[in-house]
Structure formats: structure tokens, C-alpha cells
């Protein structure tokens, strides 16, 4: 994944936006059911033996079906279900299909088939908008090549240059790239396609015009000249030596490109699953997936299948995601798959920039832009005799002449950069330099009609001093431009974690990310239609660095090592990163994982340790006793020493509010302590021992902030130290609030009903379901939930429990919120795992818990196997619902839109007076019942849900 530009908004502005009620406008709410789910389309998993007569799927004496697919389709036809098959999957890891159904009645029929064992709704996956336009002038091969000393390579940051120097460039390793297509005609990407070429194989699953909603047009050629993402990924992994010295991590590996995105960067996860299966079938050693979607859980279909691929011997690197701005507990899928290498981003140690000269000989001047300004000499102009004026550059004085051909110089501040660029353009200027404030990160900003760049405070002050601003003349002083790129040391954020990089852990407390790798200011290969080169950023590129590094590791081990060993080596050899260049305390493990990969040390470690990551869980299920296996891989005896290196404790939620903290998530110094059975271990060559460790969680923390504490167990004494990261939460995850009980963000009590006009329903609503007359539910989730339900109940129903949330109880006061939360929490019964319903052995052995849950909801607990699920111990099933309207599994929390990506609220629209199973809702007066299961909650216990009951409304058709 990538982001288009370096975000210039300050942390203070982001925080103000999050806290501002005015940031939300009810008029912008669409009365539709939100989310990325493709309506009516499902990835369905079949029992691999579903086609055998012994499974009981055919009458006695009849022949078996040829495949599990035939068996399932035949049963759908027997039930008169209307369905369309989009994709089929048939390998030893997954039998199934992507199927569209016309109604939820057809879904109920599908779930009743015994050969069906699991399913997930299909999701639309959308990459960010194309970062480049065809009009952009990027770094073309028509320019003179820069000096080899310009140092644009990122390989030294992960030690890949050292591995290359040893002769290892990934030869013999097959890497699958599931992404956009690739412009393999580019020389750095080999110039050809097929056997003997760098891009040795692949497939196009979609075609240029695919947008996620139309029919894909597949073919055997993954050539892509209309979207840059796949080419950049391929270049980072395996580009040949080139004019910008940005050689790929594994330039001698064989790359197989599987195109799943069309020209607009959209796809669906059933197509991605098809590409994952094909890459496995075609022998991939490593799979790179620079794609994903918000999840927060390890349970999505892509995550589950990725975990199976890992178990089958395939290494998988996946980008962590680019929404780090919205805080912790917001991981992506399929990066969350167990065993997958989940890769976040570290900021580049270099800042690509351009050089200009002056007519006075001062300089050169470094200016920050993707590309060089058009060649030539530009006279300099300033607007005012007082450039210290805070509005300088935000207005154009009336006496300003035509500035055609001029370079305008202004200071930063007073208005937006875009305003300064716009006013200079309106005055006719050809280019503009904005003088940056001291010690401030420069940003890249492109405007289509004027050359724009930031320059340092020192260089800017020199330019301003040279201009006779009193009479608005420029004299003979000029700035001269030519193509002259340079790699500037990144003294502002280099070698720290990237602001946009996703922050974990998952809601079920697995590491996310696992490691980090460079992801900002990356010079990448793009199709020739985009002028060959660009600078971009995102965890997409971080993942590609790790995929290439995995290939180097495999080459060093003769391709004979399991994925868990590769992941472990990358983790325990990683370099830990600080919070910032001025704060040398270590960034929380939820932010950096094990740290930035160091592939040379991974290949030749000072020690081998297991496990490579330590999961301490929460306070309810604290796993404080841990064992560390330590092996001496060298040919000499070594005395190893063990120590605890604490990292910061991150406060995921705001004090006094059940709202998450944005990035940078506050860190405090409270740290866990560790007692070792032995702190010094003497090992002969090849010897192994086990060390017992007793962890104690940090004290003095407010559990309502859901503190994420972390650190590293360091093992020193070998040629290089190794570190094992650990992470825990000093709170009960079950206490994490789910439904937002405050008007803190939206400025109104929610959940709430929106009426046919989109306004908040007052009193009893009346809906005839014609001409837009239908109710919608708007809500926010401040925590993830494994199960969200919206059911219909009679307006006068006795619910057998008191809803946790009701509009009349709302208050914006933090004190009132705390009181309400405490009352809510007292009603909960602790349970770590979702319990399997008490069903028959046959049913339990073939169906997943989530499938059984939905089946019973669709049939109001009257379907096969559901009678037992509604037994005496199932307080959830005793609630007198009339029928289910909406169900979603394993969904993430809402954000405050700090990253500009939305996701700050959700909606459910009852557009037709029907239950989810297709049954018509009779005329009458009803209420919505929303229930959200707490993390670690038991689906059968009503007390484990947060619940809201709406105002009454009438259905009158």
C-alpha cells in the first residue's frame, strides 16, 4: 500500500480535528449500509470430501459427484437457489468458490448444505488514487544520469548491500507479486516476459478496465502500463542495476507477477484469493501482497488462507497498511494472518531532492520536489518589503508586476502551501520557493500549473536577502535549474517508524506489524508512460523490501528452510528504532514490531532464539511465564547474557474518554520487569539450552487507557546481539468499549435512527418504504467486535435484559462516561474464548462457529442444530427477537478520520421491509436492537454484548 504524499498536517491539527464536533456533518451521511462488502457475494469453503457418497449427500445407490463443487452446486439447484459462480478454488489447501446469491433466503439454503464448512462476504479492496498523472514530469531516462555517489539506494538500511557483496542476490528463488501488473518492457525490470526473463511468469486476472464491480477480463499477460503500483513493487524486489543506483533487493530472483488490479486500483478479495492459490500452485517460494483492508482481526478469509500457505511452506510478506494516523488496535488483513510477515514502514534515512545554483555562486541550494524545475535561469521576486509579515505570500500586492518567468520566494506560514502556490500562479509566476521554518520536516508538494518546492531556512534567508524588496525589483540575481538530483540525509525523521505505518496489535493480541522496512521517499520504477521513475511512499514498498530479503535468506540456506524460521530470523536480528530523532527511547512494539530488518545479521546471527516474539496477552489471560530456547550456531563456545530492554508503554485510549489516541500514540516509561532463571549462559558450539522467564506487567497504569506495554529480551555475547520482542496489554480486552456511548465525535447521541430525509428521527417514526421512506441506523464503534448484530424486536417486547446504551442516558461528561462504563463492565462475565455451541457432533465437526451463528440467526434458532444452541445456558438466544436484519463478523473500530480515509462512523439502511432471510416484515411498530460482542466474549451469553435499543418506528406498507 502507498500514500500519495508526505502528510504536512501537524499532530496538533490532527488532534484538533479529532476533537472537533464540527468536523462531522450529518448532511454528508449516505443512507446506505456502509462497509466494503460486495452485496450478496461470498467466498464459500467446501468440505474436500463433499462429493463422496459416504458424506451422505446422495441417496443410496447413486454415484458420487466428481468434485466437491458439483456436490454443492447440485444441492443449491435442488433448493431452487439462484446463484452465480465467479471464481473456483481447488487445491489441497482450499476447496470452494466465490458465489453470488440473489437473496438471503438463498444464503440460508447455502448454509444448510452439509458440504459447506465456512464462508465470508466478499470485500472490495481499493488502493489509494493513482499517485502520478500522465502530465507529471518525473525522472526520465532522457536526463543525464546522476553521479553514483548520490546514494539513492535503500539497501544499506536493511544490510542487503552487504549480502550482495557476498555474491548472494537471490538467485534460484521464485517470488510471486500479487499486485497491479508490471511494465516488464522497462530495462530495470528485464525488458521481456517469460522463461529466461526477470519477470518469468504470471497472469492477469482482471484486465485494464476492471473496477471491482464489472466482470474481469483475464489473460496470460500481466503487462500494465496504466497503473504504477505493481511496477514499483517489482522494482523494489528485483530491479537490475540502473541509472539511479536503486537496485532491487533480490535482482537475480525469478519474479512472477499476478495482476489483480485494473487501471483504477480496485479489486475484490475473491480475486486476490485466486491469485494466492495460483501462485502457490505454480511453486512460489515467497509471495508479496502489497494489498489489504482494515480488519483488526486474524479471522478474514485472506488472512486464514495466508496462514495456510505459510503452514504449507510458502513465505508471505504483506504490507501492514497506511492508516497509522488513527492510532492503535487498527491492523489490516491479510497482514494479520498468523505466520505472515506483517510489514510496517520506517522512514528513509535519505531525502531525495534537487540542486539549484545561483548567479552569485552561493549554494548549491537544495529544493524538495519530486522532479527538477524546467531548466533555465529564473530571476527572483519577493512581494513585500516586510517578508516577516505572517500573511506574506497569502495575498498579492496590487503593485505586483507580471511575474512570468520569475521565481517567487515566500516564507512558510500564514496560510496553506496551496494558497501560496495559487497566488503566485495568479500573478503569473513560473515557480515558487517556500522558505521552510527551522528544524521542520520538508514535504513534497506538487501543483499542476506552477513549479513548487520548499527550501531550507538558511537558503531561503539568503535568497530573500539578495532581492531589493523595497522597490519590487529583482536586479540580476537569478537561480539556475538543471537536472541534478541528490540524496540528502534525513535528519528530521530518518531511521524512525513512519507516521502513516499501521499500529497494532490485532484485537486478538497478535503482533501487527512483525517488522518494519523502508517505506518513505522511495525512488521506484514506473511504466514508461509515466516517465520511468518516481518518488513515493507507503507500507507497500516496505513489504517488497522484506519479500526480497526473504529471497536472500532462502538463497543463503539453499532454499531449504521453513517460513517460520525465516520470519523468526528477520525478527530476532532486527534493529530497534527510537521514538524520534530527539527521543532515543524505543518505540512501542505495537508500532515497530521487532524493528527494522537487518538481513546480513539474519543470515549470520550471533545466536538463534525461539520464540521470536512473546505474546503476554491481557491481564485476564496474562501469560507471564515464558520459555526462551537459545542455540549457539557458531563454531566456538560463547557466554551469552540475557537482559530486559523496555520499550515505551503506549496509551491506546484517551484518559477519561473511551476514544482512541491518534498517532503519535502517547508513550510513558512504565515498563514490565523480567526475572530470568539464569542471566548468563555458557554454550558449546551447536549447543542449545532453555531459559525460564517470569514477566511482571508494569504498575500504576490506568486500565481504561488500554496500555500496551512492550520491550525486548536481548541476548548478547555473540558476534551481534539478538532481541526477542514482547507485548502485552495492562487491561482486560473484554473491558474495551465497543459501541460509542458519547456524542464526543459525532456531536449527537448515537446509535440513532435517521429518517427518510436523513435527519435524526424524533418520536415514533413512520415508514412506508416508498420514495426513500425507510429508516437507517447510524453508529460508531470505539472498539473492534467479533460479532455485530442488528435485529428487529416488538416495540413492547420484554428483552430480559437492560440495554447498556440508550439515548436518554448519554452525557458528554467524562465523569458520567466513566460511571456508565463501570456500570456496564460489572455486568460482564469473563470468558477468554468464544465457546462452540452445544450442537450435534456431526454439525460441530464440519461447520465453523461463525457459520453456525449466522445460520441460527437467519432461522431464528429453528434450523438444524440450533435447538441445542438455544438451550438453558444460552441467554443470548432467549432474547425475543422477531428476526435478524444485519450481521457482520470480525469488524474493526471506527476512526476519527485523522488520516482523511473516512471510517469514522457506520450506517445500516433498512431499504426494504424484509428480514435478512428474505421474509417480509409485517406492518406494525418495532424497535431496532443492536448488539456488539466484546473481544473474548462468548456468543451465547447476552451479558458479553453491548446493546442498544432504538426509538420505536412503524412499518406501514
Boundary-marking domain end, from 736, 764, 786: 736
How far apart CA 336 and CA 314 sit, in angstroms, is 16
What's the pLDDT score for residue 382?
A: 85
Q: How far apart are the first and last CA of the chain?
A: 47
Q: Is the per-residue pLDDT at 735 higher than 60? A: yes
Collect all residues with Cβ–Cβ distance below 8 Å to 947 and sequence separation of at least 6: 801, 803, 804, 805, 929, 930, 931, 932
The answer on 745 and 724 residing in a single domain is no
**C-alpha closest to that of 370 among 132, 552, 685:** 132
Single out the residue in 489, 510, 532 at which a domain terminates: 489
DSSP assignment letter at 799: -
pLDDT, tens digit, for every residue of 319-352?
A: 999 999 999 999 988 998 899 999 999 999 998 8
| Neighbouring C-beta atoms of residue 672, cutoff 10 Å | 22
For residue 781, the 8-state DSSP code is: B
Least confident of 105-109, 141-145, 839-843: 839-843
> For the residues 793-806, what does the mean pLDDT come to?
83
Same domain, 631 and 761: no
- Is residue 276 in a domain? no
- pLDDT value at residue 795: 94
Residue 495 clears pLDDT 60, i.e. is over it: yes
**pLDDT per residue as tens digits for the range 647-658:** 989 999 998 888
User: Between the CA of residue 732 and those of 705, 708, 737, 828, 829, what are the distances in Å?
Assistant: 11, 11, 11, 11, 12
pLDDT of residue 809: 37
Are the C-beta atoms of 634 and 688 separated by less than 8 Å? Answer: no
**Average pLDDT of the residues in 810-835:** 31
Residue with cell 487507557: 705
- Partner residues linked to 909 by β-bridges: 776
Instruction: Tell me the angle at which helices 104-112 and 849-858 cross, rounded to the nearest 10 degrees.
Output: 130
Average of pLDDT values for 558-573? 95
- Return the minimum-mean-pLDDT range out of 74-78, 140-144, 372-376: 140-144
Pairing between β-strand 199-204 and β-strand 254-259 as defined by DSSP bridges:
parallel
Q: Are residues 766 and 904 in the same domain?
A: yes
pLDDT at 837: 29
**What was the pLDDT predicted at 3?**
38
pLDDT of residue 529: 87
3-state secondary structure of 324: helix
Is residue 641 one of the residues assigned to a domain? Answer: yes
- Indicate whether 851 pLDDT > 80: no
Quick one: pLDDT band at residue 945, thresholds 50, 70, 90? very high
- Is the pTM of the predicted complex or chain greater than 0.95? no
Instruction: State residue 251's pLDDT score.
Output: 98
Would you state the pLDDT for residue 112? 81
Q: What share of the chain is helix, strand, coil (3-state, %, to 5)?
A: 20, 30, 50
- pLDDT greater at residue 830 or residue 908: 908
pLDDT, tens digit, for every residue of 455-472?
999 999 899 888 754 444
- 387/401 same-domain check: yes
Among 730, 672, 727, 726, CA closest to 705:
730
pLDDT score recorded for residue 838: 30
Task: Kindly state whether residues 792 and 858 are assigned to the same domain.
Answer: yes
Cα gap 299→925, rounded to integer Å: 37
Report whether pLDDT(5) > 60. Answer: no
Q: Report the pLDDT value the prediction gives residue 464, as an integer from 0 to 100.
A: 86
844-872 mean pLDDT: 61
Of 109, 102, 88, 7, nearest in space to 46 by CA: 88
Average pLDDT, the chain: 85
**Residue 403 within any structural domain of the chain:** yes
Residues 752 and 715 in one domain: no
Give yes or no for a contact between 688 and 629, defined as CB atoms under 8 angstroms apart.
Answer: yes
CA nearest to 725, candidates 515, 499, 495, 545 = 515
Do both 672 and 794 map to the same domain? no
Asked whether the predicted pLDDT for residue 293 surpasses 80, the reply is: yes
- Bridge partners (DSSP) listed for residue 753: 777
Rounded (5°) CA angle 264-269-271: 80
Question: What pLDDT was estimated at residue 133?
Answer: 40
Phi first, then psi: what are they for 410, rounded to 5°? -135, 160
Residues facing residue 254 across a β-bridge: 174
**Lowest-pLDDT range of 273-287, 383-397, 492-506, 744-758:** 383-397
**Average pLDDT for 541-552:** 97
The residue among 736, 769, 793 that closes a domain is 736
- State the CATH number of the domain containing residue 684: 2.60.40.2310
> Do the Cβ atoms of 295 and 892 come closer than 8 Å?
yes
* Tally of structural domains, the chain: 4
Q: Which grid coordinates belong to 783?
A: 472498539
**Mean pLDDT, residues 354-370:** 91
Whether 420 is in a domain gets the answer yes
Mean pLDDT of 426-441: 91
Mean pLDDT of 288-298: 87
Q: Given a cut of 70, is residue 767 above it in pLDDT? A: yes
What pLDDT is attached to residue 747?
85
Asked if 676 and 792 sit in the same domain, the reply is: no
Cβ contact 434:411 at 8 Å: yes
667 or 30: which leads in pLDDT: 667
Q: Are 331 and 505 in contact (CB under 8 A)?
A: yes
* Contact (Cβ atoms closer than 8 angstroms) between residue 483 and residue 538: no
What is the distance of C-alpha 529 from the center of its chain? 29
User: Can you tell me the mean pLDDT for 18-35?
Assistant: 67
pLDDT at 49: 82
Distance from C-alpha of 467 to C-alpha of 334, rounded to nearest angstrom? 56
Task: Name the pLDDT band for 390 (thresholds 50, 70, 90).
Answer: low
Query: What CATH number corresponds to the domain at position 368?
Result: 3.50.30.30
Name the residue with higher pLDDT: 957 or 12.
957
Contact (Cβ atoms closer than 8 angstroms) between residue 769 and residue 914: no
- What would the mean pLDDT of 577-603 be, rounded to a whole number? 96
- For residue 941, pLDDT over 70 is answered with yes
d(CA 814, CA 687): 57
In-domain check, residue 782: yes
Of 106-110, 187-191, 484-488, highest mean pLDDT: 187-191
C-beta of residue 749 within 8 angstroms of C-beta of residue 938: no
Q: What is d(CA 877, CA 233) in angstroms, rounded to the nearest whole number?
A: 49
707 and 747 fall within a common domain: no
Asked whether 933 and 786 are in contact (CB, 8 A), the reply is yes
What is the DSSP code string of 661-727?
PPSSPPEE----EEEES-SEEEE-TT-EEEEEEEEEPPSS--GGG-EEEEEEEEEESSSS-EEEEEE
What pLDDT, on the 0 to 100 scale, is given for residue 810?
Answer: 35
**Residue with cell string 514506473:** 526
> Does 47 reside within a domain?
yes
| Alpha-carbon dihedral 112, 115, 121, 123, rounded to 10 degrees | -160
Nearest to 675 by CA among 729, 728, 625: 625
The confidence score (pLDDT) of residue 330 equals: 93
More confident residue, 386 or 929: 929
Instruction: Give the domain range for residue 93.
Output: 37-126
Across the range 272-298, mean pLDDT stands at: 93
Partners of 752 in beta bridges: 778
pLDDT digits (tens, 9 = 90+) for 597-608: 999 999 999 999
940, 928: one domain = yes
Q: CA neighbours within 13 Å on the CB side: how many for 644? A: 20
Does pLDDT of 21 surpass 50?
Answer: no
Task: List the grid coordinates of 473.
Answer: 525589483
Would 233 be classed as within a structural domain? Answer: no
The one-character DSSP state at 68 is H
**The length of the chain, given as a count of residues:** 957
Condensed to tens digits (0 to 9), the pLDDT of residues 66-79 reads: 889 999 999 899 88
CA 580 to chain centre: 22
Name the residues annotated as catalytic: 179, 229, 540
Q: Decide if pLDDT at 633 tops 70.
A: yes
Percent of the chain past pLDDT 90, that is, above it, reads 60
- Per-residue confidence (pLDDT) for residue 449, from 0 to 100: 85
115 and 95 within one domain: yes
Q: Is residue 512 part of a domain?
A: no
As a whole number, mean pLDDT of residues 283-295 equals 91
Give tens-digit pLDDT for 177-186: 999 999 999 9
Question: Can you read off the three cell numbers belonging to residue 671?
Answer: 515498563
Q: What are phi and psi of 340, to 5 degrees?
A: -75, 145
The predicted structure's pLDDT at residue 857: 66
CB atoms closer than 10 angstroms to residue 632: 24
CA distances from 280 to 175, 259, 309, 430, 627 (A): 10, 15, 7, 53, 34
For the segment 363-387, the average pLDDT, to the nearest whole number, is 84
**pLDDT (tens digit per residue) in 608-625:** 999 999 999 999 999 999
Please name which of 374, 335, 346, 367 lies closest in space to residue 522, comparing C-alpha atoms.
Answer: 346
Instruction: Give the pLDDT band (50/70/90) at residue 475.
Output: low
Which value, in Å, is the radius of gyration of the alpha carbons in the chain?
Answer: 29
pLDDT attached to residue 19: 38
Window from 57-61, 365-369, 830-834, 907-911 with minimum mean pLDDT: 830-834
In the predicted model, is pLDDT for residue 359 greater than 70? yes
Grid cell 548520490 in the structure block, residue? 150
Residue 858 shares a structural domain with residue 934: yes
Among the listed residues 760, 805, 762, the one whose alpha carbon sits nearest the alpha carbon of residue 778: 760
Amino acid at each position: 500500500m502507498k500514500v500519495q504524499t508526505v502528510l504536512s498536517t501537524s499532530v496538533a491539527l490532527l488532534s484538533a480535528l479529532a476533537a472537533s464536533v464540527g468536523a462531522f456533518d450529518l448532511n454528508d451521511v449516505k443512507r446506505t449500509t456502509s462497509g466494503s462488502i460486495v452485496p450478496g457475494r461470498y467466498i464459500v469453503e467446501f468440505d474436500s470430501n463433499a462429493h463422496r457418497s459416504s458424506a451422505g449427500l446422495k441417496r443410496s445407490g447413486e454415484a458420487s459427484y466428481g468434485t466437491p463443487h458439483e456436490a454443492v452446486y447440485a444441492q443449491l439447484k435442488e433448493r431452487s437457489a439462484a446463484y452465480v459462480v465467479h471464481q473456483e478454488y481447488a487445491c489441497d489447501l482450499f476447496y470452494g468458490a466465490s458465489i453470488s446469491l440473489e437473496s438471503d433466503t438463498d444464503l440460508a439454503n447455502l448454509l444448510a448444505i452439509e458440504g459447506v464448512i465456512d464462508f465470508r462476504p466478499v470485500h472490495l479492496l481499493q488502493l489509494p488514487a493513482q499517485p502520478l498523472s500522465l502530465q507529471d514530469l518525473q525522472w526520465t531516462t532522457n536526463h543525464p544520469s546522476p553521479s553514483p555517489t548520490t546514494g539513492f539506494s535503500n539497501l544499506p538500511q536493511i544490510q542487503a548491500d552487504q549480502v550482495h557483496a557476498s555474491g548472494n542476490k537471490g538467485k534460484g528463488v521464485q517470488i510471486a507479486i500479487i499486485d497491479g501488473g508490471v511494465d516488464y518492457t522497462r530495462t530495470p525490470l528485464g525488458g521481456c516476459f517469460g522463461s529466461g526473463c526477470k519477470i518469468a511468469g504470471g497472469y492477469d486476472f482482471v484486465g485494464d478496465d476492471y473496477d471491482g464491480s464489472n466482470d474481469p477480463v483475464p489473460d496470460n499477460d500481466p503487462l500494465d502500463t496504466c497503473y504504477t503500483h505493481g511496477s514499483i513493487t517489482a522494482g523494489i524486489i528485483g530491479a537490475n542495476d540502473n541509472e539511479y543506483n536503486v537496485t532491487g533487493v533480490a535482482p537475480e530472483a525469478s519474479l512472477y507477477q499476478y495482476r489483480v488490479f485494473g487501471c483504477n486500483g480496485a479489486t475484490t478479495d475473491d480475486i486476490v484469493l485466486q491469485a494466492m492459490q495460483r501462485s502457490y500452485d505454480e511453486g512460489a517460494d515467497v509471495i508479496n501482497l502489497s494489498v489489504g483492508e482494515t480488519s483488526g482481526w486474524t479471522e478474514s478469509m485472506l488472512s486464514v488462507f495466508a496462514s495456510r500457505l505459510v503452514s504449507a511452506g510458502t513465505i508471505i510478506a504483506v504490507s501492514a497498511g497506511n492508516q497509522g494516523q488513527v492510532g492503535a488496535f487498527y491492523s489490516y488483513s491479510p497482514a494479520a494472518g498468523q505466520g505472515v510477515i506483517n510489514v510496517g514502514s520506517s522512514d528513509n534515512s535519505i531525502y531525495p531532492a534537487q540542486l539549484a545554483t545561483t548567479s552569485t555562486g552561493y549554494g548549491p541550494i537544495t529544493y524538495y520536489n519530486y522532479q527538477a524545475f524546467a531548466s533555465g535561469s529564473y530571476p527572483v521576486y519577493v512581494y513585500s518589503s516586510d517578508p516577516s509579515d505572517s500573511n506574506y505570500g497569502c495575498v498579492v500586492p496590487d503593485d505586483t508586476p507580471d511575474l512570468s518567468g520569475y521565481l517567487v520566494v515566500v516564507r512558510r506560514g500564514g496560510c496553506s502551501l496551496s494558497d501560496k502556490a495559487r497566488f503566485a500562479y495568479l500573478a503569473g509566476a513560473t515557480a515558487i520557493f517556500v522558505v521552510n521554518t527551522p528544524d521542520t520536516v520538508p514535504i513534497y508538494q506538487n501543483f499542476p500549473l506552477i513549479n513548487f518546492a520548499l527550501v531550507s531556512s538558511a537558503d531561503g534567508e539568503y535568497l530573500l536577502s539578495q532581492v531589493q524588496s523595497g522597490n519590487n525589483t529583482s536586479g540580476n540575481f537569478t537561480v539556475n535549474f538543471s537536472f541534478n538530483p541528490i540524496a540528502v540525509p534525513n535528519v528530521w525523521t530518518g531511521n524512525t517508524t513512519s507516521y502513516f505505518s499501521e499500529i497494532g496489535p490485532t484485537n486478538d493480541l497478535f503482533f501487527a506489524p512483525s517488522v518494519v522496512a523502508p517505506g518513505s521517499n522511495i525512488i521506484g520504477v514506473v511504466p514508461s508512460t509515466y516517465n520511468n521513475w518516481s518518488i513515493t511512499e507507503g507500507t507497500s514498498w516496505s513489504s517488497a523490501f522484506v519479500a526480497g530479503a526473504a529471497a536472500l535468506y532462502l538463497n543463503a540456506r539453499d532454499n531449504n528452510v521453513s517460513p517460520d524460521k525465516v520470519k523468526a530470523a528477520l525478527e530476532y536480528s532486527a534493529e530497534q528504532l527510537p521514538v524520534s530523532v530527539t527521543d532515543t527511547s524505543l518505540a512501542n512494539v505495537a508500532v515497530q514490531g521487532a524493528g527494522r530488518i537487518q538481513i546480513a545479521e539474519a543470515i549470520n546471527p550471533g545466536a538463534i532464539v525461539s520464540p521470536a516474539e512473546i505474546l503476554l496477552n491481557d491481564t485476564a489471560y496474562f501469560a507471564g511465564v515464558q520459555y526462551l530456547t537459545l542455540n549457539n550456531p557458531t563454531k566456538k563456545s560463547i557466554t551469552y547474557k540475557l537482559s530486559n530492554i523496555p520499550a515505551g508503554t503506549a496509551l491506546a485510549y484517551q484518559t477519561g474518554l473511551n476514544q482512541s489516541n491518534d498517532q503519535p500514540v502517547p508513550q510513558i516509561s512504565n515498563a514490565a520487569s523480567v526475572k530470568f532463571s539464569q542471566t548468563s549462559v555458557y554454550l558449546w558450539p551447536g549447543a542449545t539450552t532453555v531459559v525460564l522467564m517470569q514477566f511482571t506487567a508494569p504498575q500504576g497504569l490506568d486500565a481504561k487507557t488500554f496500555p500496551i506495554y512492550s520491550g525486548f529480551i536481548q541476548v548478547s555475547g555473540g558476534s551481534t546481539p539478538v532481541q526477542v520482542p514482547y507485548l502485552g496489554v495492562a487491561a482486560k480486552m473484554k473491558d474495551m468499549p465497543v459501541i460509542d456511548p458519547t456524542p464526543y465525535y459525532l456531536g449527537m447521541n448515537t446509535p440513532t435512527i435517521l429518517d427518510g430525509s436523513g435527519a435524526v428521527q424524533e418520536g415514533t417514526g413512520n415508514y412506508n418504504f416508498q420514495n426513500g421512506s425507510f429508516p437507517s441506523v447510524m453508529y460508531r464503534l470505539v472498539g473492534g467486535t467479533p460479532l455485530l448484530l442488528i435485529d428487529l424486536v416488538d416495540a413492547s417486547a420484554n428483552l430480559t435484559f437492560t440495554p447498556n446504551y440508550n439515548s436518554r442516558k448519554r452525557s458528554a461528561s467524562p465523569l458520567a462516561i466513566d460511571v456508565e462504563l463501570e456500570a456496564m463492565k460489572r455486568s460482564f462475565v469473563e470468558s477468554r474464548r468464544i465457546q462452540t455451541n452445544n450442537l450435534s457432533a456431526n454439525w460441530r465437526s464440519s461447520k465453523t462457529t461463525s457459520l453456525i451463528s449466522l445460520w441460527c440467526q437467519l432461522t431464528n434458532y429453528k434450523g438444524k442444530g440450533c435447538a441445542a444452541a438455544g438451550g438453558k445456558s444460552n441467554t443470548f438466544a432467549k432474547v425475543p427477537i422477531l428476526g435478524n436484519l444485519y450481521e457482520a463478523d470480525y469488524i474493526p473500530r471506527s476512526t476519527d478520520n485523522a488520516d482523511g480515509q473516512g471510517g469514522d462512523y457506520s450506517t445500516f439502511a433498512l431499504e426494504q421491509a424484509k428480514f435478512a432471510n428474505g421474509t417480509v416484515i409485517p406492518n406494525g411498530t418495532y424497535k431496532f436492537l443492536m448488539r456488539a460482542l466484546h473481544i473474548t466474549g462468548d456468543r451465547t451469553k447476552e451479558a458479553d454484548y453491548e446493546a442498544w435499543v432504538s426509538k420505536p418506528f412503524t412499518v406501514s406498507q
